[in-house]
């Protein structure tokens, strides 16, 4: 049976005095089974709304784009600048190798730019969903506060049930229906309260993943600038250069390491996010 201790433990603010008076009027006017129905429905609707905003594939798509970028960079092999051994090397000039490698690099840069733009569009979707989720979270807080008021008003109206005298049938409890209703409202109140930190955890996971993914653009910019200079492409016309293969590999591996850290951070955030959504679904369906 619900009691007032839950509200005190959760520190749920009481509704305004005029709203409490309205709830008392509802208690007197409504059938017990219909009492507080609007607040009960509001909590369920808010949970539906939160889940609708949380179920988005934007981050998953952004991760897929990030994986595409990793594959693109892994495909740039500075060792291709090293002359081939054997007879094949006799027909493979240094300038030809450099020209082909420059072309592959420039094609990769275009792919990177397009893919980063796609990732940013996905992240804008996450940001937009985050704003909508904040509105849903506030609505859920309001719903919890409302249903808590209904529970408190009903509890104040309840008196202890009649006790059966030994050897006699249990007397009829005139407030049995209201007790049942209060228990139902209390379950919805508990679901709403438990959902609040879950929603915040989803928002935090989204923010963590978004921040991680946005680290990719400056990392690519730094790598592109370094490779552009070392390949002699930092002037209006290509310069004659002999790129240091080891330096190019080190810069590429440094970029890949950064991307792998980003990938790990986003994966961890998605795991936390998934766990919280599963919890929210359980609360909604419970």
What confidence tens digit (pLDDT) does each residue in 30-77 have?
A: 788 899 999 999 999 999 999 999 988 899 999 999 999 999 999 999
**Model confidence band, residue 205 (pLDDT cutoffs 50, 70, 90):** very high
Q: Are 14 and 192 in contact (CB under 8 A)?
A: no
Q: In terms of Cα–Cα distance, which of 139, 194, 151, 142 is closest to 36?
A: 151
Average pLDDT, the chain: 90
What pLDDT score was predicted for residue 162? Answer: 83
pLDDT, tens digit (0-9, with 9 covering 90-100), for 227-253: 999 999 998 888 988 999 999 999 999
Is residue 11 scored above 80 in pLDDT? no
R_g of the chain computed on alpha carbons: 31
pTM attached to this predicted model: 0.85
**Model confidence band, residue 85 (pLDDT cutoffs 50, 70, 90):** low
Question: Can you tell me the mean pLDDT for 146-169?
Answer: 85
Q: Are 95 and 60 in contact (CB under 8 A)?
A: no
Q: Which residue has the tokens 């072309």?
A: 103
Q: Are 98 and 155 in contact (CB under 8 A)?
A: no
Proportion of the chain above pLDDT 90, given as a percent: 73
What pLDDT score was predicted for residue 90? Answer: 55
Give residue 62's region: left, alpha or beta (phi > 0; psi -120 to 50): alpha
Q: Are 212 and 265 in contact (CB under 8 A)?
A: yes
Look up residue 167 and give its DSSP letter: T
pLDDT, tens digit (0-9, with 9 covering 90-100), for 104-132: 999 999 999 999 999 999 999 999 999 99
Q: In terms of Cα–Cα distance, which of 155, 160, 174 is closest to 2?
A: 155
Report d(CA 209, CA 262) in Å as an integer.
8
Is residue 211 scored above 80 in pLDDT? yes
Q: Are 59 and 128 in contact (CB under 8 A)?
A: no
Q: In terms of Cα–Cα distance, which of 66, 68, 50 is closest to 58?
A: 66
Lowest-confidence region among 121-130, 161-170, 222-231, 269-278: 161-170
**Model confidence band, residue 1 (pLDDT cutoffs 50, 70, 90):** low
What pLDDT score was predicted for residue 92? Answer: 66
């Amino acid at each position: 049976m619900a009691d007032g201790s839950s509200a005190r433990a959760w520190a749920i603010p009481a509704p305004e005095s005029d709203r409490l008076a309205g709830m008392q009027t509802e208690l007197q006017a409504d059938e017990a089974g219909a009492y507080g129905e609007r607040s009960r429905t509001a909590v369920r609707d808010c949970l539906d709304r939160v889940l609708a905003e949380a179920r988005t594939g934007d981050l998953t798509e952004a991760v897929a784009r990030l994986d595409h970028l990793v594959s693109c960079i892994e495909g740039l092999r500075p060792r291709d600048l090293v002359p081939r051994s054997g007879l094949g090397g006799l027909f493979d000039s240094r300038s030809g190798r450099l020209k082909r490698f420059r072309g592959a690099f420039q094609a990769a840069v275009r792919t990177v730019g397009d893919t980063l733009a796609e990732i940013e569009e996905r992240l804008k979707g996450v940001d937009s969903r985050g704003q909508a989720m904040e509105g849903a979270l506030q609505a859920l807080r309001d719903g919890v506060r409302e249903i808590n008021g209904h529970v408190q008003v009903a509890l104040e109206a309840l008196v202890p049930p009649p006790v059966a005298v030994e050897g006699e049938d249990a007397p009829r409890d005139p407030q049995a229906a209201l007790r049942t209703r209060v228990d139902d409202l209390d379950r919805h109140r508990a679901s709403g309260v438990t959902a609040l930190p879950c929603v915040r955890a989803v928002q935090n996971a989204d923010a963590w993943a978004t921040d991680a993914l946005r680290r990719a653009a400056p990392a690519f910019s730094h790598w592109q600038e370094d490779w552009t200079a070392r390949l002699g492409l930092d002037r209006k016309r290509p310069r004659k250069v002999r790129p240091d293969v080891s330096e190019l590999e080190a810069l590429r591996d440094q970029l890949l390491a950064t991307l792998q850290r980003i990938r790990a951070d986003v994966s961890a955030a998605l795991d936390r996010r998934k766990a919280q959504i599963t919890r929210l679904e359980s609360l909604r369906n419970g």
